[in-house]
Structure 1
Amino acid sequence: MKRRRILYIFCLLIVLGVNIFYVEYQIFIMLVLMLVIPACSWFVYFISALGMGISMQIKNNVVLKGSKVHLMLIKKNKYNLAFVNGQIHVKYKYYHTGDEFSYTVDIKSGLGKSAGVIDIPVDYCGYIYLWVESIDMCDYLGLFHKRKKYTGLSKVYIVPEYAQADIIQTDGGYSEDMDDAVLYLKSAGDEVSELREYREGDSPRYIHWKKSSILAEDDFIIKEYDNNIYKTVFLVVDTLETGKDKRLSVMSRIYQDAYSQGIAYLEQGIICEYVGWDNSAGNIVRYNFYDNETCMKALMGIMNLKCSVSAAYKACQKLYDLDGIELSSEPIIITYKENE
């Protein structure tokens, strides 16, 4: 841009000098044209740049992983950006990991309403927000330039496809050691039907620790279960922090596993809750679901959580401490194993 202006001024001075020393009709016409053409270019540029407003429209705010986000950029009016060259810079960011990407599209000139169309491929699950960072535009001669910044945001959820999965049974429990994280799944268990005194041979996992804390040192209260009572499962979704090069793929895998396991439990007629750790609030969030649609909405709620250290462990500890919740079995921890 700067070089073009310098070159234009240099050529204009030469033609002006020739007109001074050689008064010729043809040379005078050349001088007039060198003044009028840039002036016309500036006028059209000024009209096109007036306001320079666009709106961003997204065809679908919920898309499947592996597909594309169809983004349309609409002009404020038909004359806006109609007769200029330039580019529109669009960025999008995964909220939970902070990974940021950018796209650039050429301005579509003419009197149509569209300023540009972008199809953004999305290969990872999560919640993203998109925005127009700036517009760079110039006239056709490349002598005048303008940039405008924007701040508006649009949300899109990238969700996993349905995948058939079996409920995995294991005797493992949650490990506090996050370096040895693994997908821990325990059977749902049944609701507590009554409490009784401890008997020799009772498993420690059935001890009601809160009520036992007021008894003598060697006395315990045991929880009895009724198999006929409806069952509820807590699925703790680990929003763990990992290396920058793989954190998107790790969380995408976790979201996929959480959705698959949620659907698998629903098919068994079991009510479920997703539990996640909100690090900014220092508390858990809970989303119950009872069919495929509410399961997806609950997972989208979990996608609004930022990744943090030991998120699953903190969520489990908070879950144990909540009054009014009687855990019939260990929560199901859905996390990531390094060698998977």
Structure 2
Amino acid sequence: MIIRWIIYFFALLYSFIIYVMYSQYQAFMLFALIAAIPLLSFISLLIGVKTVKVYFHNETFTINNGEKLKLPYMIKYKSLLPLADFCIIAEEKNGWGEILVRKVINNNEIIFNKKQRNYIYDAECCGKTEINIRSIKFYALLNLFTYTKNIDRQWMVFVMPLIYEKSNDSLTTADNKVYRHTSYNSLGNVSGIRLYKIGDNSRFIHWKASLAHDEFYVKEHEFLNDEEERILLFDLSDDSDTAANNAVFTSVYNIGLHFIEQYGNFFLAYLGQNSRFLIRKITNKKMLDVSMVEYMENSCFQKNMVNWRLFIAKKTTYRYKAVYVSAEEEKIRSSLNESNYCNNIKLVIINDGQKTSVRSHEADIIYINKNYLSEDIAGVWTL
């Protein structure tokens, strides 16, 4: 802006010199016009601020990691023509309130009445993302003046992890990419068939019955007879490592779905609203989704291995066969050495070391390399 004012003063000085040297009517009009530019610029800015309206709605969205989300907003002009340029200043924050991206959205189109625009959000980090529209900055004619209008609008986006499906000889993701994996525990015997429901695994479709009745049927299995209660808990990395946290979320989500399919239910432990440590029984994918979103809503309090410490502190810990997922290996080992409840705890450690084979893990530890998540995650099928 300073450079623009310098250029303006040089133009004003040049027009004044011409007027003094020639004293002609045209020279005077040129000088008067250039002298009036700041006033005209300021007036156009005031009119533009009053006549331009940008409408946002505070909304909540849930999408899968890797997807793009279009967040709509409306630009409306009350005057016939736009008299001021403007840009929208937005911030994307993670669940801990740390700024991930700061964007400046410029409006480069001439809009005569109103038009819907979209803010494009790329989901690259599992968990909660707050997209805050902080302000709208207006620019006057020739950008000699600016005005910043503060607003308070927010979109809340919950980014869910990818689902990895098991098959007999391969591991596939929702985008149909195929990876190798180790063997996993088989389900119980087939107990019957029923109509297909949305969310059922397609590999359990009973094709003969489906062809005979012109409707999809799936096989029902007896769950493995296991009297132990399984509990799943996890903590995110304290270093705000996006790759590590994505690996933690993905591992937990797929372990939960594996437990539902294999054993019928499990318990999920996490710090919920009002700082309450919750142990919820999960019996289907919808319940798992609701609990994961609740965890994400309170992720600002999920630091310093809080779920692990609260779980160890509970006197009922010995009842459960626990699976704990985290990227803080050293802290976990030291905590286990101090704890009396380590016999029934399986650890899933997220690391960034050399590529590991899912078969070669310690007795109670499964290692998953965050850089090879699509391959190493197959180790959780042994749980």
Same fold, TM-score > 0.5, yes or no: yes
Counterpart CA distance in 2 for 1:316 and 1:80 is 63
Q: Does 1:16 pair with 2:16?
A: yes
The 3-state SS of whatever aligns with 1:63 is strand
For 1:309, the equivalent position in structure 2 comes to 304
Where does residue 150 of structure 1 map in the other structure?
151
Cα shift at 1:98 = 2.9
| CA shift for structure 1 position 155 | 0.9
Match for residue 160 of structure 1?
161
Cα distance between partner residues in 1 of 2:293 and 2:6:
55
Distance in 1 of aligned mates of 2:279 and 2:22? 86
- Higher mean displacement: 130-139 or 227-236: 227-236
Q: Which amino acid aligns with 1:92?
A: E
Identity of aligned residues (%): 16
CA distance in 1, matches of 2:256, 2:266: 7
Query: How far apart are 1:99 and its partner, in Å?
Result: 4.9
Residue aligning to 2:336: none
CA distance in 2, matches of 1:236, 1:20: 82
Query: Do the aligned partners of residues 71 and 37 (structure 1) sit closer, same or farther apart at CA in structure 2, a change above 3 Å counting?
Result: same
Q: Identify if the C-alpha distance between structure 1 residues 99 and 40 changes in structure 2 by more than 3 Å, giving closer, same or farther.
A: closer
Does residue 329 of the first structure (1) align with residue 320 of the second (2)?
yes
Per-residue deviation at 1:142?
1.8
- What is the CA deviation profile of residues 134-168 of structure 1, one whole-angstrom value per residue up to 9, with x for unaligned ones? 333212312221123333322110111222259xx
* Equivalent residue letter for 1:101: V
CA contact (8 A) 1:88 1:134 kept: yes
Counterpart mapping for 1:234-245 below 5 A: 234-241=231-238, 243-244=239-240
Partner amino acid, structure 1, of 2:295: I
The answer to whether the Cα contact below 8 Å between 1:235 and 1:273 also exists between their aligned partners in 2 is: yes
Q: Taking CA–CA contacts closer than 8 Å with sequence separation of 6 or more, which of the two structures ends up with the larger relative contact order?
A: 1
Aligned to 1:211: none
| 2-structure distance, mates of 1:238, 1:250 | 11
Contact 2:12 2:31 in 1 (8 A): yes
Q: Are the structure 2 counterparts of residues 151 and 141 from structure 1 closer, same or farther at C-alpha, using a change threshold of 3 Å?
A: same
**Change beyond 3 A, Cα 1:116–1:104:** farther
**Counterpart residue number, 2:5:** 5
For residues 79-129 of structure 1, give each alpha carbon's deviation from its aligned partner in whole angstroms, at most 9, with x where no partner exists. 499332343221111114735221221124423434853312121211011
Higher strand share: 2
Bigger Rg, which one:
1
Call closer, same or farther: CA 1:115–1:14 in 2, change over 3 Å: farther
Q: Using a 3 Å threshold, how does the CA distance of structure 1 residues 23 and 240 change in structure 2: closer, same or farther?
A: closer
Partner residue in 1 for 2:33: 33
In 1: Cα distance, 2:155 partner to 2:80 partner: 22
Query: Structure 1 pair 77/22, CA: closer, same or farther in 2 (3 Å)?
Result: closer
Amino acid at match of 1:317: I
1:4-83 aligned at under 5 Å gives the runs 4-20=4-20, 22-35=22-35, 39-50=39-50, 53-57=53-57, 61-75=61-75, 77-79=77-79, 82-83=82-83
Question: In 1, distance between residues paired with 2:225 and 2:119?
Answer: 54
Contact 1:53 1:80 in 2 (8 A): no
Cα distance in 2 for partners of 1:81, 1:284 equals: 56
Equivalent residue for 2:252, pick from 254, 258, 280: 258
Scaled by the length of structure 1, the TM-score of the pair is: 0.68
Which structure features the higher share of helix residues?
2
What is the aligned residue count?
272
Determine the C-alpha separation between the residues in 1 that align with 2:95 and 2:247: 16
* Residues 51 and 78, structure 2, Cα contact 8 Å, conserved in 1: no
Uncovered stretches (5+) of structure 2, i.e. residues with no partner: 168-223, 328-348, 354-368, 370-383
Change (3 A) 1:142 1:263: same
Seen in structure 2, the aligned counterparts of structure 1 residues 9 and 106 have a Cα distance that, compared at 3 Å, is same
Tell me how far 1:133 sits from its aligned partner.
2.7
- Contact 2:234 2:252 survives alignment (8 Å): yes
SS at match of 1:233: strand
